[in-house]
A and B are shown apart, each in its own frame.
Chain A
Amino acid sequence: MDEWDPEEEVRLALAGDEAACTRLVRRLTPVIQSRVTRVLLRWRTGSAAGREVRQEVENLSQDIFLYLFEDDGKVLQSWEPERGLSFFNFIGLVAVRRTVSILRNRKKSPWNDDPTPPEDLDVVAPESNSSPEEITASREELERLLDRFIEELSPLGWHLFDLLFLREMSVEEVVCETGMSRDAVDKWKSRLRSLARRLRDEMSKGP
């Protein structure tokens, strides 16, 4: 069985060991590329069929590698294995978050002549008895809210969101799963609620 120790490999790569850096990049390229591609293809709208998506995947993937190593490898060193997130899932979450952030904050879309960049979608608050157009807009609002949420949450925050709301585990189950105290899990639940509330308020005020 593979004995690879991600913490040791990160330590060596940050210290400038070229062989360790090469091994780390080789192992992480598929997961970063795959996550970047999935986000990019989801954001790709309109009829920019001639667009060179591969170049964009390369650029974004390289950006994410450099982001992982910047500030003395702050992001890489922030992975905590005991929190229950595997190293590859952690990197994948960072890749998704960073890609969403880049695409959302770009003043010019990579597809300049794209007729419907995501930022221009109208924001409509979800209401009951909505028309199909309003329901579609609500879904679009939720999608945008989700992208903002992903962008703002740390990998640990996303992991807690996954356990509490995607997998719908009870607080007690999350305590057992992560080894965190009940207080810490309750605080994360409050943070998630505050974040959702803040992002909704920001979006409803418009650009």
Chain B
Amino acid sequence: MSDDDFWLKELAQVHREREAEERSRFDERWDRLSAGTLSPEEEAELKALAETSEEARVAYEAFRPLGEDFQARVVQEILKRDPVPVPKPVDPPPPKPLPFRPSPSQTFHRAGWAAAAALAATILVFLVRDPFSLLHGPASYPPLLVYTLAPVEGDKETRGGPEAAMGTPVFSSGSVLTLNAFPERFITDPVEAKAFATRGAELVPLDLQPKTEHGAVLLQGTLGEEIHLSPGDWRIWIVVFHPGRIPAMRELKAELDAGRTRHDDWEALSVEIRVEESQPSP
């Protein structure tokens, strides 16, 4: 470990200890005292505590809400400044239709093609807004619909063996990797998606991230160009989630390691692939 990293870790440790010490002196009730959200019982507890020591008395005075008079004075001070016209953010233009077309070098598996055709038929039939989205605002989402990952086509498939299940798609540099994930029906609630690769405990974020359109998710990129994975067996993950509702990566990995891939606000789908060294041209 470098000297600098040693100091940074020491600083982190001091910060943790400081926070722990502070929380034991002044737990979260004190923050809620400032926010005015204590229950009557909690307020009575802190008032009683304030009478037991000078430190607690001073703390009670300091954390007690600053009140409307303070806020009004602050607002008046702020309004003395010249106003700043900040332009409203412009909504991004609507995305171009996703090119859900196979590249000339690919052929879709018949079952995958049938699934895509079925979804297209569903879209044609359900050309109305999802009734849930009419009832629920964007801040309150119904549980995420169940997603399906279309079969993934590689350059070839493994023949099985100890390292990879039979039928694992194989890719090499220059191959196009395409992952399509579909909800069980057409939706209008916004969803986002993230992609990464894992190999045992190793986690590799992908430079290329999936695109979404009406709930459908597409990850498509060329190995060695947009997608960089060393040779070997990988599990490619796509996580579909309601905006802002994906857990932090560490928690997410723990959930996935425990086999939990679906929650009300997110679902993780995955496929195993094998990346092979490119054979040099003869």
Contacts and interface: CB of A to CB of B under 8 A. Distances in A.
Contact of B18 (A8, A61, A146): A146
A200 B65 CA distance: 38
Contact of B71 (A16, A26, A182, A192): A26
Interface stretch (A100-108, A129-137, A162-170): A162-170
A139 interface: yes
Interface of A is mostly: helix
Contacts of A184: none
B14 A25 contact: no
Interface string A162-196: 00011111101101110001100000000011101
A127 interface: no
Interface string A25-49: 1100110011001101110100001
Contact of A14 (B31, B35, B83): B83
Contacts of B203: 170, 172-173, 176
A51 B61 CA distance: 11
Interface string B240-260: 000000001110010000000
A61 B250 CA distance: 35
- Which of B14, B34, B78, B137 has most chain A Cβ within 10 Å? B78
Interface residues of A, number: 67
Contacts, number: 162
A197 B34 contact: no
A175 B8 CA distance: 20
B129 interface: no
B14 A22 contact: no
What are the 9 A-B residue pairs with the smallest beta carbon separation, nearest first?
A: A16-B83, A193-B4, A30-B35, A165-B12, A1-B139, A176-B249, A14-B84, A37-B62, A72-B84
Interface of B: 2-5, 7-12, 14-16, 18, 22, 25-26, 30-31, 34-36, 54, 58-59, 61-66, 70-75, 77-79, 81, 83-86, 88-89, 137, 139-140, 194, 196, 203-205, 207, 248-250, 253
Interface of A: 1-3, 7-8, 10-11, 13-16, 18, 21-22, 25-26, 29-30, 33-34, 37-38, 40-42, 44, 49, 51, 53-54, 57-58, 61-62, 65-66, 69-70, 72-73, 77, 139, 142-143, 145-146, 149, 161, 165-170, 172-173, 175-177, 181-182, 192-194, 196-197, 200
